[in-house]
Structure 1
């Protein structure tokens, strides 16, 4: 009779108890993190990690500002995790943008929330800018829904863009988001794309294929096995008049005018999709496509880590001076922005490559207990917050202010690169894996079937780590 049959028949058996102990330990870990108070002198900061959709056993931690003590110094800049409440007011509009903005009010509210003060700069790369870009795509299609045009004329685009930013600011958004996200009124126009009307678009593009590929975008498959992205690129290439493959497009070095034209045509494709999909479906699809893009690179800036290299070059065992220098450096990186779990893996690899290039051969991440969450914003001054690689939003509550959902509270070790060359990190390769979760020595029990029980911990770890790939 095998181990699982024994567990089902013997309620008090060792296997049964171990199963509940494992689940109980994971719950206690989250509870302790939520009860950790914020020290008055500590200002939380930001960074990254690697995680993904939660399972039934591992729900994401809700970082609610309601539990943070009253901030004692109102005259100073607010810590990024402090609850804030936007001041809403009636915006002053140009009166020259012929659009009833109330019809897309919920989308405007979502964007204003995602780009709220004072969080916009901290979540710009992952939350604010992808949502603002999606709003502009949807507005472009929404504006021209009663005409044959897929774009706005330059003058009208300028008025409408100004009104959009004014409305967002009146609902609590940061008024500097055009600069933060590098968007402008030209994003609502056709730019240099030669096709800007529906009739020509539908004659040139296989719209049935495009809509089939992008009507429903799978958030767990699109980034690694894309369906919608190549369909959009193919349509953009067709209306641009360029007979290129996607690979040829990537190799078009020095042909900036053609690249600009293709990017302009991609916006026209987005506009067409916005006309055909509901605003919610379009927003979901566009946000997933943005997530695929932002999760491919590390958005953090790393200054030359000369002090870390000097302190850690020749260490082979835990060194107080090395670890102190490393922790100080990482603490500075944390203050830049909030990033996703996938970005955290890439950032840790990039930084590790810089250290190896400087002569640090030993895995000092392991020696100094540097985890992926150590690159992230510090909630309550203790717990690292890492966003899932899937699209995330700021959450506003009238009682607690703004908050956002963090993912993965386990101490996943930061990956140490195998060489000093900064090669691209693929999180889609079948062989890609993360370091194993720390295992307690008490779990190494050989009762109840011997070798069968030994598989319990690796299998349990697999269910946790498998979520990190998406």
Structure 2
């Protein structure tokens, strides 16, 4: 009788859990269907076969907060109200000529998100805007740069207009831009006539119109052409590049001349084409390094130095360290490879020789900002934008191939790391990880989080 009563209790318990889970699933599916009518956003379908395509994550996809005691993460804030900017009235540039680029920059640098996407999205777009603004000025002038007084007025107007459209007012500090960036600095060539006399402009335009987003970072064409033009004008048109001044002052001159070259390109390309080219070039640069700051991992080294098998103390220490890193910013999948390699090299130099990433089930996405403290999002290595509309709010494009395991470096040296080598290309999504691994921060995910992951994996663009 006691055995029968225990069996009945177990059946009731299973039935109760099933009912709760079913209600959660139904409510989440209903919410998604209500938002699925938004045009060109997403379509609910079966998970794709093979390589997962990128997905768009927006507030419409995120279910109710499974942890109501925690505040909503900063990835999904409300959009700030806009207002009419107060302009100086002294800037000689017609801002309507580059209105689409201004709007894109304001969206990419939206007030609540600018600090989280500054390295990958906001600041590359701000730098592109500055070059395009110089090009717009030169279309009505014989100069490729602005005089300092006009640059001060125009820079003030740029920041005011961006802030009026919801952008963060700290852009100058966040992205290290200032009015002098519009003046050409110490570059000796600033007028259009001299520039076109010295530089092979046909070669320059052919190399950068358009820029191939898949080839430029590994087999660059546009960037060397820009560098060659900058070297020519920095030396006053000298045909020999062998005696280039490599001192700190000489490098500053070359960098200033590069901004003049960018301005000439912006003058001769449409704002949209120039923006695309400049963002791709920026992407090649930012994806070469890890933007995260790593503190000395002494606690992780102490706990993991002798680990050759799953060790709870090691994995707990490692997960705690990575959890602090996750609060910094959103990064790209390529940056995550660099970050995982850099951190792994730090551990190796401290005496951790075992692949603790594999032991503790650390994925690439664990190095990026997390939603609800559970789901990481890595941006694609190609240029990305923050998208806002009244129906769905903010949205990002995340790369589902970030579910791959973090690569453990083959040695403590970073000199051999190359993201252009075939073996460093992002692989397909792997098979399910061994659930028996210790320290897996994802092993305790609740039902609401599981539903979120299931819904996200079922969405394709």
Q: TM-score range by the shorter chain?
A: 0.7 to 0.9
TM-aligned CA deviation for residue 194 of structure 1:
0.5
Once residues 142 and 77 of structure 1 are traced to their aligned partners in structure 2, the CA distance between those partners, rounded to angstroms, is 43
CA drift of 1:303 comes to 0.1
The corresponding residue for 2:422 is 430
C-alpha distance in structure 1 between counterparts of 2:55 and 2:241, whole Å: 40
SS at match of 1:347: helix
Residue by residue over 1:197-245, the C-alpha shift from the partner in whole angstroms, topping out at 9 and shown as x without a partner, is 1110011000000000001000000000000000000000000017698
Distance 1:241 1:168 in 2: 36
**C-alpha separation between the residues in 2 aligned to 1:316 and 1:435?**
26
1:371-407 per-residue CA deviation (whole Å, 9 max, x = no partner) reads 1111122234332211110000001011222111101
Asked if structure 2 preserves the Cα contact closer than 8 Å seen for 1:63 and 1:379, the reply is no
2:166 partner SS: coil
Partner of residue 293, structure 1: 285
| TM-superposition CA deviations, 1:177-206 (whole Å, max 9, x none) | 110000000110011100001110011000
- Once the two structures are superposed, the pairs formed by residues 56-455 of structure 1 within 5 Å of their partners are 58-68=52-62, 79-241=73-235, 252=246, 255-409=247-401, 411-423=403-415, 425-433=417-425, 437-439=429-431
CA distance in 2, matches of 1:71, 1:93: 41
Contact 1:384/1:409 (<8 A) preserved = no
Residues 410 and 239 of structure 1: CA distance in aligned 2, closer, same or farther (over 3 Å): closer
Q: Which moved more, 1:412-421 or 1:120-129?
A: 412-421
> Using a 3 Å threshold, how does the CA distance of structure 1 residues 115 and 436 change in structure 2: closer, same or farther?
closer
Is the CA contact (8 Å cut-off) linking 1:413 and 1:435 kept in structure 2?
no
- Stretches of structure 2 that go unaligned for 5 or more consecutive residues are 1-24, 32-47, 434-461
Please say which of residues 108-117 and 80-89 is displaced more in the overlay.
Answer: 80-89
Instruction: Give the whole-Å Cα distance in 2 for the aligned partners of 1:100 and 1:434.
Output: 44
Q: Distance in 2 between matches of 1:191 and 1:55?
A: 52
Alignment CA distance shift 1:101-1:437 (3 Å): closer
Q: For the aligned residues, what is the CA RMSD?
A: 2.8
**Would you say the 8 A contact 2:128–2:278 is kept in 1?**
yes
Measured against aligned partners, the alpha-carbon deviations of 1:237-280 in whole angstroms (never above 9, x if no partner) come to 0000176988986x93xx11111100010000000001100000
Q: Which runs of 5+ in 1 are unaligned?
A: 1-30, 38-53, 442-470
Instruction: Indicate conservation of the 8 Å contact 2:73/2:372, yes or no.
Output: no
Structure 1: which 4+ aligned runs deviate by more than 4 Å?
54-57, 69-74, 242-249, 433-437
Inter-partner Cα distance in structure 1 for 2:426 and 2:145: 45
CA shift in 2, pair 1:440/1:379, >3 Å: closer
- Compared with structure 1, are the counterparts of its residues 346 and 73 closer, same or farther at alpha carbon in structure 2 (3 Å cutoff)? closer
Equivalenced residues, count = 389
Relative to structure 1, is the Cα distance of residues 424 and 271 closer, same or farther in structure 2, using a 3 angstrom cutoff? Answer: farther
Q: Larger RCO: Structure 1 or Structure 2 (Cα < 8 Å, ≥ 6 residues apart)?
A: 1
